[in-house]
Amino acid sequence: MSNSLDSYLVLSGLLFAIGTFGFLARRNAISMLMSIELMINAVNLTVLAFGAFVAPLRVHAAVIALLVIAVAAAEATVGLAIVIAIFRNKKTPLVDEYDSMRD
Amino acid sequence: MNWSDIGTISPVVIAVLVAAAVLVVDMVAPGRRDPVIVTALGGLGIVAVAILIQAGRSGSAFGGAYSLDNLTVFLDMLFVAIAALTIMFAADYLEPRGLPIAEFAAVLIFAVTGAMLVAGSTDLLLLFVALELMVLPGYMLAGFARHDPYSTEGAIKYFLLGSFSSAILLFGLAYVWGITGTTRVDGVAAALATVVATGKIAPGLAMGLAFMTTGVAFKMAAVPFHYWTPDAYQGSPTPVTAYLSVGPKVGAFAIALRLFVGALGPLKADWLPVVIVLAALTMTLGNLVAITQDNVKRMLAYSSIAHTGYILVGLAAYAGGEQSGLSAILFYGAAYTFMNMGAFAVVTALQRRPGVSSQIATFAGLGRRDPWLGALMALFLLSLTGIPPLAGFWAKAYVILAAIQAGGWLTVLAVLAMINAAAAAFYYLRVVVYMYMREPTGDAAPSSPGALFRTGLAITGVGTLIFGLFPALVAAAADAANVFHG
Amino acid sequence: MNLPILSLITFTPLVGALAVAALPSRYPHLIRRTALAFSLLAWVMSLVLLAAYAFGPTGFQFVEAHNWIPTFGIRYKVGIDGLSILMVVLTTTLSWISILASFGPIKDRVKGYMISFLVLEVGMIGVFLALDLFLFYIYWEIVLVPMYLIIGIWGGSNRIYATMKFVLYTLVGSLLMLVAILATAFAYQVGHGGSWVGAFDFQLLQQFAASGQFGDAFQNLAFLALFLAFAIKVPMFPFHTWLPDAHTEAPTAGSVILAGVLLKLGAYGLIRFAVPLYPHAAHTFAGPIIVLSVIAIVYGAIVSIVQPDLKRLIAYSSVSHMGFVTLGIFVFSATALQGAILQMISHGLITGGLFLLVGVIYERTHDRTIAKMGGLAATMPVWATVFGFFILASAGLPGLSGFVGEFLVFVGSFGISPLIAVATIIVMVLAATYLLWMFQRVAFGTMSDFLKGLGGHLTDMTGTEAVTLLPLGFLIVVLGLFPSLVLDLLRAPAQAFLAAAGVAVGG
Amino acid sequence: MTFLIPLIPLLPLAGFAITGLLGREMGKQSHKVAVWAVVASWLVAMLVAFGALSHTLGFDAAGAGIKLWDWIPATGFHADMGFFVDPLTACLLIVVTTIGMLVHIYSIGYMAHDEGKWRFFAYLNLFMFSMLMLILADNFLLVFAGWELVGLCSYLLIGFWFPRRSAAEAAKKAFLVNRVGDMGFALGIMAIWTQLGTLNMQAVFAKFAGVPHEWQIAIALLILCGAIGKSAQFPLHVWLPDAMEGPTPVSALIHAATMVNAGVYLIARCNPIFGTVPEVMVIVAAIGIFTAIMAASIAFTQTDIKRVLAYSTLSQLGYMFASLGVGAWTAAIFHLMSHGFFKGLLFLGSGSVIHAVDGEQDMRKMGGLARKIPITYVTMLIGSVAIAGVPPLAGFFSKDEILGGAFKNGFLWVWAIGFVVAGMTAFYMFRLMGMTFWGQSRVDPEKEHPTHESPPTMTRPLILLAIPAIFLGLLIGFPPESGLLHQWLAPVFEATITASGRTEAAYSFFGIDGVLAIGTTALVAVAIVMAWRLFGVNMPALGLHAEPRPDRVRELSERQGLAELYRGSSHKWWFDDLNNLLFVVWGGKLAAAVFWFDRTVIDGTVNGIGTVTTGAGMRLRQVQTGRVQNYALGIALGLIAMAVGYILIAVR
């Protein structure tokens, strides 16, 4: 069981689920951003697991993982900027208090 | 990378340069509006020329990751038009609010660059990266009025949920890649074709499909992944809303074409039921909730959800075996761009003075206060309703025809779409009621848009009309852009 | 003759609308006269067309066809037969009358009003001329918008509810019709090896239908969709409740056109498209439709009796009168069909006239409540006389046009099944009841306090008002005495209709 | 000379058009055109009638027609605009144009002071046109057209004084009740077309024997339906008494002498149809004779002079129907003609009386008028004697023929009731004479105008009408059953009578006919004397004098057994109340209920769909809570659902 593709995929799936749970459960915008990072890293783990166990995918895996990390970084940058902007307006990082628009 | 690759992606490259040039011009002459606009629009003009030069040609770049075909050209032109129109409408809105036009233009053009890259992507990885290039500037635009609590609130919701869905999409992409062993769209298709030929699809692939569908459905604003739409649309500065309602939406459908049709085409029998359900839910919920809205921006947000539903009918028709469903999607996208941007433009015009809300009451008596603006808004709304001979009518007719040709459940979907369209008339015409059948209230906003703005309005108006009177032109282009024939 | 006279007639009002749009709105008189001039021009041209029309042969004349959207074989194709030319003349006649009748009452936003009216005329003429299903559909929808505006902007106090109801109700029907039209064209396309050429061409489609190539199940669905759209427009029981609201709130001329032409669009659609394209389905559903028609005739009349508002009463009476039209269509008898068409025309003339006359009163009293009226025969004798004339025409007095149409429907239905006529004949009494009782309360008796309070405002009809009613009255009498003028035109269409419906033509 | 026929109706039509359009401007002269039009029409009609009756001037025994144009040439249906004159038509022409002309002349005086005089004459002209079209029409549809048009004119003229609410109500009632009958007539015409493929009357009659018997019955019943309405027979008789709201010349012309006879004319005209269905003939007879006795019984107690005459008209029309029913066709037409003249006379006379007492119609406020308005008195007395059936005046001969026909054709019950009615007729007529002309004056002495005789334009027509009331019977009805009229009408009825198989025994004065005539006359004499003794008489020339005895009248009306009858009679046997309850009250409730259904159920459903849609939208929009977590949860749930869906699809 250990050290097989499936076990890595299960692990990465769990990581993704944890990230999702974090995103759903946390109220702080920064924490939610971190949860998303966790989800993206779960994807990276998946990618790398595929690369490690499926020979033809090896080269690609590293490239993909690198690009995904880059995108995640960019996303985090934009995200933080927005979080700062809204923190200035609302004086709170708790997203469930951002509900002036609804229905 | 070589020179030929650069040539193939020249529109994207030029667009990036235009964005940079806008920033440079703003540095040279800070705070001056006209040079920025001239640079941006002129630059976009050059991009358009570059795209048109490519019309009819085909080719690929980056070893097949990017492909130049008629679909790319069609979508690129649409994106350029969207960018140009947004800039035309934005200037009059941003200036009184002290928001920097150059930054806006640059970010917008970056976003469009991403969208153009999406249009040409034939590689899963490039597709994802391009998608992020398209949506990240979008988040920034949504929160562009950074001192406005509504704008930032919309932006954070958009951003958080958007990133969440991006991760989901990415997860799905990873699985597909892992199972098929390639990121190239044609390679994926070929691999999946053998999977289909050998029998059932693995649970892993099913999971991948579910994740990808969710991700794309989110970007399209399909129900039940639409939650961000009303809030982001309402909060964003109105010109941004105009952009968001068409740019990322057409971009999302571009992804759908490249990913679902191009790569996952062999599995279409599997995703067809899902798309049918999504389409039915999307148009119905969008319309039902739109009926209850009193804020025109929010109403148009729900309306855009409903239109997503109609467009999805075209995708479903394709999956149901009718190729022209894809042409219908493209036609719809083009028609929707003009009429919906026009509608938002009128809202923008009314909001020229800061502090004016987009409540429906601000439209009271518009037909009398400003006959031209009122008439144009009526034109856009009637087109959105689907009254012939306007653009929106042909878009619907095209989609419905495709659905009917596909037959079976798609016919039921077509009927549902039409019932929805009738219900939609209620809220579109409600605005007409306010404009023409009610007297102006005291605090109704004065409106005197500038020349640039009026030019933009004229373009959307004429476009809505021309698409309606001579639909054959656009239909032919959309048909040519449907590269998935055969 | 190579002159595209049909297109000229169709687009003359459009040119008029553009001309009016170009005029500054500070010259309302000029705007009114321009609009009237163009509608009169269209009218004269339609009369010229009538004169040039060859009576005898079946088939369509003056056909014009141009490709429009070749990808789907959608064409701009127009042509006339005896049925459509009558409807066109009715439309052009009522249009200029309506525009003239609006001179006084419409004082606000004259320009928009006249543009709406002229565009409306384009749509109405187009519906009657179109021989391409898609073109037909487009004109059908074009009609909707100006009427929506006319009721919504220039209507009464509850106008927004009424106009929204009108539009939404109509749209539900017409959008389903669009599905059916597209499906029909597609079935044709499949039957022709995937070629869209001619897929929307009515004549080709009808040949296709005649050869029995539309499946029964398909026919049933498509027919029901078209039927719903047309039944709403007619309006047939139980899809009629938009009509009283729309009529009550519409301005006078709007009511005239609504009753005079718009309701006829539905009946025309049934005759021209729904039955010939789906004959099998038409026979399948004929029974229930006949029952609905009979209900509409009697029901509309009964409800009319207790209406407190003049316009509402006439609206419900329209439900009753239009029931004859649908009845006449679906008994599949040449006699009844001719009667139905004649009834369409005479209902247009009579009800149009009644609405104009109610408008005359409304102009002076700003009220239409029957209970507030009384004794107008003494105060406004000319008006009361003319009103009485139209009321009697509406009640089906022999010698006037309404009688001929209704009687032919009766005779035709009686030949199919006496039960239909027996169930329906009670309307002779009911119609007289609601009309005469209304007339009695309005015109007879002594002046009500409400009217006395108006004093000198209660002047008799003006010259303009008389001019609007004169042609209607004239035509009612002429068609009552010489219905052959119309019936001769209808012989060929009636035969074509029955042939398409697969019924042997008797007599 | 058939080309002259269209002129007969067209002249009054032209008169109507001119008077209607220009009458207001003509002022006092507004009657001129109308009157001359009718006089001209009368001249032409006389010429045509002469031709038709003498079989000269292009007419033969079967008559002659002229077709003007194809009226309704539809596919599968055809009706002409054409006229046809035979002896029956000619008889009607004589009655209609003559009385019509006299009424026109009478109206010059009667309406002289009315502001709406021009309107009145226009309507009268229109009526003449309609009535003439009715009797001249050569096909059923055109008859129907005339049928409806006379109904319209009746409506217009009853409601002539429209500010009076009762007049407007009566006008509407007349039209509506007539329409009830017309429904049947219209269905009958449809049935005829469907069965025979023609509406031309001569063609229909020629082919009628070939129609299936059940259809023959149906057609006859439906035509009867129309006739009942127009001739105000039970149960559609309720409109005629109310119709007296119209000006009196109208009552004379339309509601006594011409229009109400249309039903009789129609059945007589359709004798080839009715001849084939004896079962329907019995119904005709029953309806007729029932109406006769019922109306006569009501006439006993009415106090409005015109209403008495109206019920009398009902009763006499009942006679005519009975006559038709028993197969005494010629007798019916004979009575139609004689009744037309003497009832026209009586109505015009009553109009003169009313004119004299300044608009009063209640006989209880008259009395003793004989000396003040002598011409009116004498002519009305002649009319009363005529209608009572005193020989040798017109009424005697015609009534005698009817009763004789009933008896001899085996309808003993018809004869028996008719016999009683003859006595009743004499009684109520002399009650009328007594209350109006004899005894003491009860006229309100403070009347604005003193009681005065009417102007010559009014009295001359009375005199002119009195002549036929006296001599018509002798002229065309003598000798009985073989007089001039019988010769004239023989071609019309011969075939039907022969086909019926009743070969009537020749008239024998010294046989049964004589017995019947003497019996009837005796009864009439007794009835008249009874009336004199109760309501008075004063004819010095004949040495007759009796004071009215209101006390005895009251006593009789309160006597056990008679009181109920009296109440029933004075309440018109509650027919109006029943109709009011059925049609006005319950009918109104039904209409209101249907309207409620329309608003609540049908429109309620429409609005309900809107409400439900909006309500669903309101519910759905609550999903949009504004909180990102909720949204994310929604997306996650959507993702799970999607995954489940795909798995299901994958394993299917």
For the stretch D174-225, pLDDT in tens is 999 999 999 999 999 999 999 999 999 999 999 998 999 999 999 999 999 9
Q: Which of C236, C305, C407, C413 to mutate to test the interface with D (most CBs of D within 10 A)?
A: C407
pLDDT digits (tens, 9 = 90+) for B75-89: 999 999 999 999 999
Which of D624, D635, D651 is the closest to B161 by Cβ?
A: D635
Instruction: Please judge whether A103 and D621 are an interchain contact, meaning their C-beta atoms are less than 8 angstroms apart.
Output: yes
Q: How do C74-80 and C61-69 pair as beta strands?
A: antiparallel
Q: Which two tokens stand for residue B176?
A: 């597909």
Total Cβ atoms within 10 A of residue B186: 14
Using the predicted structure, report yes or no on whether residue B442 has a pLDDT greater than 70: no
Q: What percent of chain D has pLDDT over 70?
A: 99
Q: Which of B168, B177, B240, B289 to mutate to test the interface with A (most CBs of A within 10 A)?
A: B177
Instruction: Please judge whether B419 and C176 are an interchain contact, meaning their C-beta atoms are less than 8 angstroms apart.
Output: yes
Neighboring chain D residues of A98 at a CB cutoff of 8 Å:
626-628
Neighboring chain C residues of D179 at a CB cutoff of 8 Å:
428-429, 432
Q: Which of D622, D628, D630, D640 to mutate to test the interface with A (most CBs of A within 10 A)?
A: D628
Residues in Cβ contact with B199 at an 8 Å cutoff, skipping those fewer than 6 apart? none
Nearest CA in chain B to C156: B437
Residue B324 has φ and ψ, to the nearest 5°, of -65, -10
Q: Does B437 touch chain C (CB under 8 A)?
A: yes
Q: Which two tokens stand for residue D21?
A: 């359009």
Q: Are chains B and C in contact at 3+ CB pairs closer than 8 Å?
A: yes
Instruction: Please judge whether D595 and C482 are an interchain contact, meaning their C-beta atoms are less than 8 angstroms apart.
Output: no
Per domain, the residue ranges of chain B are 1-263, 267-486
Q: Does D606 touch chain B (CB under 8 A)?
A: no
Which of D614, D620, D628 is the closest to B285 by Cβ?
A: D620
Instruction: Please judge whether A36 and B174 are an interchain contact, meaning their C-beta atoms are less than 8 angstroms apart.
Output: no
Q: Does D643 touch chain A (CB under 8 A)?
A: no
For D239, half-sphere exposure in the C-beta direction (CA atoms, 13 angstrom radius) is: 30
Q: Does D626 touch chain A (CB under 8 A)?
A: yes
pLDDT digits (tens, 9 = 90+) for C385-400: 999 999 999 999 999 9
Total Cβ atoms within 10 A of residue B424: 26
Q: Quote the minimal CA–CA distance from B481 to chain D in Å.
A: 30
Q: How far apart are CA D472 and CA D482, in angstroms?
A: 14
Touching chains, B (3+ CB pairs < 8 A): A, C, D
Instruction: Please judge whether B224 and D638 are an interchain contact, meaning their C-beta atoms are less than 8 angstroms apart.
Output: yes
Using the predicted structure, report yes or no on whether residue B193 has a pLDDT greater than 50: yes
pLDDT digits (tens, 9 = 90+) for B6-27: 889 999 999 999 999 999 999 9
Instruction: Please judge whether D627 and A32 are an interchain contact, meaning their C-beta atoms are less than 8 angstroms apart.
Output: no
Q: How far apart are CA B165 and CA B183, in angstroms?
A: 20
Q: B409-437 and B296-319 helices cross at what angle (nearest 10)?
A: 160
Nearest CA in chain A to D632: A24
Neighboring chain B residues of C168 at a CB cutoff of 8 Å:
422-423, 425-426
**Under a CB-based contact definition with an 8 Å cutoff, are residues B417 and B283 in contact?**
yes
The three-state secondary structure class of C80 is: strand
Query: Which of B103-107, B144-148, B199-203, C247-251 is the least confident region?
Result: B199-203
Give the mean pLDDT of D255-276.
91
Q: Which two tokens stand for residue D621?
A: 């929009």
Q: Which of C236, C306, C333, C386 to mutate to test the interface with D (most CBs of D within 10 A)?
A: C306
Touching chains, D (3+ CB pairs < 8 A): A, B, C
Q: Does B404 touch chain C (CB under 8 A)?
A: yes
Is residue C7, in this structure, part of any structural domain at all? Answer: no
For C119, half-sphere exposure in the C-beta direction (CA atoms, 13 angstrom radius) is: 22
- Record the pTM: 0.93
The whole-chain average pLDDT of chain B stands at 92
The three-state secondary structure class of D270 is: coil
pLDDT digits (tens, 9 = 90+) for C439-470: 999 998 888 888 888 877 788 888 899 999 99
Between D507 and D101, the higher pLDDT residue: D101
Nearest CA in chain B to A64: B125
> How many pairs of residues across A and B have Cβ atoms under 8 Å apart?
120
Eight-class DSSP state of C372:
G
Using the predicted structure, report yes or no on whether residue D84 has a pLDDT greater than 60: yes
Q: Which two tokens stand for residue B112?
A: 């469009």
Is residue C153, in this structure, part of any structural domain at all? Answer: no
pLDDT band at A65 (very low <50, low <70, confident <90, very high): very high
Q: Are chains C and A in contact at 3+ CB pairs closer than 8 Å?
A: no
Nearest CA in chain D to B214: D639
Instruction: Please judge whether B386 and C175 are an interchain contact, meaning their C-beta atoms are less than 8 angstroms apart.
Output: yes
Domains and CATH numbers, chain A: 5-102 (1.10.287.3510)
The whole-chain average pLDDT of chain A stands at 90
Instruction: Please judge whether C178 and B397 are an interchain contact, meaning their C-beta atoms are less than 8 angstroms apart.
Output: yes
Neighboring chain B residues of A20 at a CB cutoff of 8 Å:
164
Query: Which of B5-14, B192-201, C158-167 is the least confident region?
Result: B192-201
Neighboring chain B residues of C159 at a CB cutoff of 8 Å:
437
> For the stretch C272-281, what's the b/e string if a residue is b when 16 or more beta carbons lie within 10 angstroms of its beta carbon?
bbbbbbbbbb
Give the mean pLDDT of C414-425.
92
Q: Does D165 touch chain A (CB under 8 A)?
A: no
Neighboring chain C residues of B388 at a CB cutoff of 8 Å:
137-138, 141-142
Which of A9, A23, A82 is the closest to B159 by Cβ?
A: A82
Q: For residue C506, what pLDDT is reported?
A: 42
Instruction: Please judge whether D626 and A95 are an interchain contact, meaning their C-beta atoms are less than 8 angstroms apart.
Output: no
Q: Does D592 touch chain A (CB under 8 A)?
A: no
Instruction: Please judge whether B426 and C168 are an interchain contact, meaning their C-beta atoms are less than 8 angstroms apart.
Output: yes
Neighboring chain B residues of D646 at a CB cutoff of 8 Å:
206-207, 209-210, 213, 270-271, 274
**Cα B64–B67–B68 angle (5° rounding)?**
145
Nearest CA in chain D to C504: D76
Nearest CA in chain D to B269: D649
Is residue C212, in this structure, part of any structural domain at all? Answer: no
Q: Quote the minimal CA–CA distance from C186 to chain D in Å.
A: 30
Number of domains into which chain C is organized? 1
Using the predicted structure, report yes or no on whether residue D404 has a pLDDT greater than 80: yes
Q: Does B277 touch chain D (CB under 8 A)?
A: yes
Is residue C410, in this structure, part of any structural domain at all? Answer: yes
Q: How far apart are CA B193 and CA B264, in angstroms?
A: 9
R_g over Cα of chain D: 31
Containing structural domain, residue C472 = 278-507
Is residue C53, in this structure, part of any structural domain at all? Answer: no
Q: How far apart are CA D450 and CA D179, in angstroms?
A: 43
Q: Quote the minimal CA–CA distance from D592 to chain C in Å.
A: 6
pLDDT digits (tens, 9 = 90+) for D8-64: 999 999 999 999 888 888 888 888 899 999 999 999 999 999 998 888 888 888 888
Instruction: Please judge whether B161 and D631 are an interchain contact, meaning their C-beta atoms are less than 8 angstroms apart.
Output: yes
Instruction: Please judge whether C175 and B422 are an interchain contact, meaning their C-beta atoms are less than 8 angstroms apart.
Output: yes
pLDDT digits (tens, 9 = 90+) for B369-410: 888 899 999 999 999 999 988 999 999 999 999 999 998 899
Which of A36, A98, A103 is the closest to B156 by Cβ?
A: A98
In chain C, positions 228-257, which contact chain D (CB-CB < 8 Å)?
238, 240-242
Eight-class DSSP state of D455:
P
Neighboring chain B residues of D634 at a CB cutoff of 8 Å:
224-225, 227
Total Cβ atoms within 10 A of residue D251: 29
Is residue C240, in this structure, part of any structural domain at all? Answer: no
Residue in B225, B412, B383, B233 with CA at minimum distance from that of residue B317:
B412
Amino acid residing at C287: G
Residue in C345, C282, C351 with CA at minimum distance from that of residue C318:
C351
pLDDT digits (tens, 9 = 90+) for C106-131: 988 999 999 999 999 999 999 999 99
Instruction: Please judge whether A27 and D629 are an interchain contact, meaning their C-beta atoms are less than 8 angstroms apart.
Output: yes
Touching chains, A (3+ CB pairs < 8 A): B, D
Using the predicted structure, report yes or no on whether residue D66 has a pLDDT greater than 60: yes
